[in-house]
Amino acid sequence: MAITKVLVLQGPLRASGINPVTQNLTKDTEARQLLNVPFDASHTIHALCYVFRVQGFKVIYSGWNDDAEWLNANRSLFDHLVLSDQSNLKTQDVREGMVLPNSKQKLYYGAMRGLQAACELYGKEALTLRLRSDVSVNFTHVLAEFRKLLSYPKSVLIEYMHMDKPYSMPDFMNIGHSASLLAVYQHLFELSAAGQSYHVSSHVDHSLAYMRLQELGVISDLICMERAMFDAVVWRGVPRYMESVFHEHAEDMFFGGRVERNPAVSVADIVARIPPQLSGRDPV
């Protein structure tokens, strides 16, 4: 029986934030907010749905009730549409008296809901790309990455790894069997909903979630995608290659191989060393 290919798109229709260029202009949180630019993902969503369905993918969109009017009007773009209420999800963190915007719980919940639908509709073994709605990728690279799952079942493919930040991993996309990806986002959402996230950053949360699920035997290998996938990304309408004017990614990033972990170091060991101001746990 042929294995189904699935694209799970998730996120808001419109958002405001940084892009590949503005994220490199400053590291100061308040200064970054002044650089936020609005982005309407409707054109990206249209293009991705059309191109991926032509290539034989089933497309699931996991969105919010706030965007229901547009999503329902364009329901023909999707094989399945999931709408959720985001009003009770966390949108900020309080750290050292400061209130900071943080939408990671919305990311986890939206991804989880889309992946639940993928498992129910197309089976737990469906080859799945989970992708944010403000990001576009080249389908030929996705198909090449899918082939890795034939050799590494139960593995999860991530976009890249920073050599100098091994516990910080990207959250734009990931690839795996639908059940493997669902396990990741169920884990992340349940921790966040309980006020017990690993870290304030989604990037560190992802890394430790992968590691914890490896400890539990839920997923096997963690594999970085090829550099070609990274280079072809367009984020909020800006091609990622424009980042190259700020730094050369090849110098500090790892692509195209397995991520090896020290088996003597556990997630519990790492969490115990996270300073309180960076912990994802809700303040007592």
State whether residue 65 is helix, strand or coil.
helix
Exposure of 213 in the CB half-sphere (CA atoms within 13 A): 23
Which of 81, 218, 140 is CA-nearest to residue 129?
140
> Residue 232's pLDDT band (boundaries 50, 70, 90)?
very high
Q: What is the pLDDT of residue 277?
A: 86
- What are the structural domain ranges in the chain? 5-281
Report the predicted TM-score, pTM, of the whole model to 2 decimal places: 0.94
Check whether 107 has a pLDDT greater than 70.
yes
- pLDDT tens-digit readout, 173-194: 999 999 999 999 999 999 999 9
Q: What is the pLDDT of residue 98?
A: 47
The alpha carbon dihedral of 228, 124, 90, 75 has a sign of positive
User: Running DSSP on this structure, what letter comes out for residue 72?
Assistant: H
Q: Residue 282 and residue 110: Cα distance in Å, rounded?
A: 21
Reading the block at residue 103, the tokens are 């939408």
**What share of the chain in percent tops pLDDT 70?**
94
- pLDDT tens-digit readout, 79-94: 999 999 998 988 766 5
Reading the block at residue 193, the tokens are 């909903």
Over residues 251-279, mean pLDDT: 92
**What is the β-pairing status of strands 173-177 and 156-158?**
antiparallel
- pLDDT tens-digit readout, 138-156: 999 999 999 999 889 899 9
- pLDDT tens-digit readout, 116-128: 999 999 999 999 9
Q: Which amino acid is at 150?
A: L
Q: Tokens 């939206």 identify what position?
A: 110
Exposure of 144 in the CB half-sphere (CA atoms within 13 A): 12
Q: Which CATH architecture has domain 5-281?
A: Alpha-Beta Complex (3.90)
